[in-house]
Structure 1
Amino acid sequence: MNQQQINQLETQLWASANELRANSKLTAAEYKDPVLGLILLRYAQNRYEQAKKIVEASIPDNPRGGEKRALRKEDFQGSGAMMLPEKAQYDYLANLPEGEDICGSVNQAMKLIEDEYPELAGVLPRNYQEMDPKLLTGLIRVFNKDEVKTLPGDVFGRIYEFFLMKFSMTGAGAQEGGEFFTPPSLVELIVNLIEPGKGIVHDPACGSGGMFVQTSHFLEDHQEKLVGNSINKTVSVYGTELKANNAKLAKMNLAIHGLPLCQHSCRLF
């Protein structure tokens, strides 16, 4: 997928999601976290499916001639993917029959992921009961289109940042003067001036974590700076943030960019 196609997809997804909100009673601020949570859930499903093929092929045959052993959570860690319980998979939610408690099911999916991955505890939104079931069903379908199901992780990172930017422009924090979101172009300029190579990167007002994401992009573009060709072994990032919800956005941003949360800290002061 080229840059123009990515731009078109971002615009189409935002238009579809925003049209649903416009026909509801939700403000942009009330809509932001549930939407970003679904993007993360869709991303996790895609990463899981992509990694599953590699993991299955890597498991050795049973020497006794029986079936191969079952997949384990640990098998997916090296691939930067999460092993999702069935009821936490996006496909499961998208295929729920009409009349099922879709709001409760999405809340349960988020809880199941948090139970499996304690580093995400308290980060994922679990207030979907506040949404109209028809609205939530429509929103799930927006991110269940065929062209979205095959997207790689880096494109999902772009989509997440695009939605953050659009929400910041529609009142979900914009009144605070860009409280949680600084345009990527500005953050990229700062990172290019700093030229992070190794050690610790600290953002004293991390917001949604854009500095950390741009640092990873910089290192990917300058592979010679990497130690052992691993971003997470080269740089540790730490952020301080006043508001709890902004710290959650940052941790979700790190997760959707494939940056392990165990390597990072978003502390509240």
Structure 2
Amino acid sequence: MAKTKAVKEEPLEKQLWKAADKLRKNIDAAEYKHVVLGLMFLKYISDAFEELHDRLKSGEGDLAGADPEDKDEYNAENVFFVPTESRWSHLVAQAKQPDIGTYVDAAMDAIEKENPSLKGVLPKVYARQNLDPTSLGELIDLIGNIALGDAKARSADVLGHVFEYFLGEFALAEGKQGGQFYTPRSIVELLVNMLEPYKGRVFDPCCGSGGMFVQSEKFVEEHQGRINDISIYGQESNQTTWRLAKMNLAIRGIDSSQVKWNNEGSFLNDAHKDLKADFIIANPPFNVSDWSGEQLRGDARWQYGTPPAGNANFAWLQHFVYHLSPTGIAGVVLAKGALTSKTSGEGDIRKKLIAEGNLIDCIVNLPGKLFLNTQIPAGLWFMNRTRSTQNGGNHPRKNQILFIDARNLGHLINRRTLELTHEDIQQIASTYHAWRTDEGSYEDIKGFCASVPVERVAELDYVLTPGRYVGLPDEADDFNFPERFAALKAKFEAQLQEEAALNQAIVESLARVKL
């Protein structure tokens, strides 16, 4: 008798995504994400409220005599107060009503009125005509089953994980626009693992949906640190993205009171003017040409030179440097062009960051296809204040820069998108950690990493492309050109055949169309 192969059940978050996406119907992904994520957030705060409500009602121990409807009891426990008409059980009871959308909007409005920190955060989009009430009711039932059967405290972890997964899936569905609010998880993990933000102030002045903060908190938890040892500061110029960040952080129990929104953005209206951060983790938009540079000439932040009005890359770099504490360190994503550009004084600014500021600690060249919204090649910049003699100069390699070429790492998760594996992240992060200690465990690896004296970088005109310094891997010496050419030729011929077959199929399909 033939054995049947066991079918591996899909993870919960994938099952939920497929079901939620099926209910989307004709609604644009950019709009639908607020519908779904808003309901998820409502479920989370309702679960947290109900758990404390039950404990207050039972009146055990320190809670003896407490009033379960007293808002102050919830404030004391950092739990959002959820009025009766906003509780999940109330919405479930109305889920089959034709005006369920009106009920949900009213629930969101009531929560904002009871919780000032949520004012302007929650979506009120559920009564719109393009949102079918039957599908909305089914979506409420679907989200209501997340973590069903788990303890309510456990449900917060499950909901947080699903919320994060859905953010990524919506970003994929939106494509180019999705990258504006979401940095791929593997890049966030790499930045956080390299920086190791155990204690201090963590700042992201272009924070999107808050992924850098969530990952920082995860890192502390995974390394048995204390969550209260870090505090987060952020700014976002897109209000709908800021709302996502506030919900994303709240669902993780992270204090987002210092995550600010204003329409002008970090350059024109810095929400944290006096902040000196211990860690800066950021993924600013690449090569922005319209950043109000002309209005900011002579700004105090441009210590190493005025950035060109047509490209914000070096404005961002100097904004980060300005906000670093005397022992602070920044890890940021930038378009690869910033490593070599000499346009409009960019080369001079890069030179001064190295020669005068002695700030550049490490450069990582990333593989392509990591980003959802752009095919522009990117790299990571790490800037460290402890290299400077003004701050004690106690960095063991203050006269060297570490270059890492990670272009050959990562694996494809679909035809257009690549991600770094856990092993890739550990390889890069451990290389950096070994390098910045003085215990002698670091070694150059041809084709991957090299510790380069600043004098050598100066000889190459302060170009920071890792490939210039790490060389080719040893196996490149054994490159078999005839064999490689034959393989590429065969692959190309197969692609031509596939193209011809597809073209023929299109012609046949068109021939069957009746006009």
Q: What SS does the corresponding residue of 1:152 show, helix, strand or coil?
A: helix
For the pair 1:49 / 2:44, whether they are aligned, the reply is: no
Q: CA deviation at 1:122?
A: 0.7
Q: Which runs of 5+ in 2 are unaligned?
A: 1-7, 266-515
**Deviation by residue 1:71-121 (Cα, 9 ceiling, x = unmatched):** 422222354422311110111011117445211110010011100111111
Q: 1:60 aligns with which of 56, 60, 64?
A: 64
Shift, 1:213, TM fit: 0.5
Query: Quick one: which of 235, 255, 259 aligns to 1:265?
Result: 259
Q: Which residue of 1 aligns with 2:506?
A: none
SS in 2 for 1:76: helix
User: Which residue of 12, 16, 24 corresponds with 1:13?
Assistant: 16
Check whether the contact 2:53–2:68 (CA below 8 A) recurs between aligned residues: no
CA shift for structure 1 position 53 = 3.1
Q: How has the CA–CA distance of structure 1 residues 119 and 149 changed in structure 2, closer, same or farther, with 3 Å as cutoff?
A: farther
Q: 1:240 aligns with which of 224, 229, 235?
A: 235
What letter matches 1:244 in structure 2? Q
Bigger Cα displacement from structure 2, 108-117 vs 91-100:
91-100
1:165, CA displacement in angstroms? 0.5
**Contact 2:236-2:260 within 8 A present in 1 as well:** yes
- Which structure would you say has the larger Rg? 2
Is this contact kept in 2: 1:28–1:167, CA < 8 A? yes
What per-residue deviation string (whole Å, max 9, x for no partner) do you get for residues 184-221 of structure 1? Answer: 22212211111112221111221100011111111212
| Equivalent in the alignment of 2:342 | none
Equivalent of 1:155 in 146, 155, 158? 158
Q: Which has the higher contact order (CA 8 A, sep 6+)?
A: 1
Across the two proteins, how many residue pairs are aligned to each other? Answer: 248
Q: Do the aligned residues in 1 keep the contact of 2:96 with 2:134 (CA within 8 Å)? A: no
Aligned to 2:135: 135
Q: Which amino acid aligns with 1:266?
A: K
Residue 87 of structure 2 corresponds to 89
1:64 aligns to what? none
SS class of match (2:202): strand
CA distance in 2: counterparts of 1:89 and 1:147, whole angstroms:
17
- Asked whether the 8 Å contact 1:46–1:149 carries over to 2, the reply is no
Gaps of 5+ in 1: 62-67
1:70 offset after TM fit, Å?
4.4
Identity %: 38
Q: TM-score, normalised by structure 1?
A: 0.84
Residues 164 and 146 (structure 1 numbering): CA distance in 2 closer, same or farther, change over 3 Å?
A: closer
The alpha-carbon distance between structure 1 residues 135 and 219, as it changes in their structure 2 partners (threshold 3 A), is same
1:266 partner SS: strand
TM alignment of 1:1-269, pairs within 5 A? 8-21=11-24, 24-56=25-57, 57=60, 58-61=62-65, 69-96=67-94, 98-99=96-97, 101-130=99-128, 131-145=131-145, 147-148=147-148, 150=150, 151-171=154-174, 174-176=175-177, 178-224=179-225, 226=226, 231=227, 233-262=228-257, 264-268=258-262, 269=265
Measure how far apart 1:242 and its partner are: 2.6
Of Structure 1 and Structure 2, the greater helix share is in 1
Gap change, CA 1:235 and 1:30, over 3 Å in 2: same
Q: What amino acid maps onto 2:259 in structure 1?
A: S
What is the letter of the counterpart of residue 12 of structure 2?
L
Query: Larger % of strand: which?
Result: 2
| SS, match of residue 164 in structure 1 | helix
Give the secondary-structure state (helix, strand or coil) at the position aligned to 1:82. Answer: coil
| C-alpha separation in 2, matches of 1:177 and 1:69 | 44
Q: Which amino acid aligns with 1:109?
A: A
TM-score w.r.t. structure 2 length?
0.45
Q: For structure 1, which segment, 179-188 or 110-119, has the greater mean C-alpha deviation from structure 2 after superposition?
A: 179-188
Q: 1:59 to 1:9 in 2, by over 3 A?
A: same
| Contact 2:20–2:139, Cα closer than 8 Å, also in 1 | yes
Kept after mapping to 2: 8 A contact 1:55/1:76: no
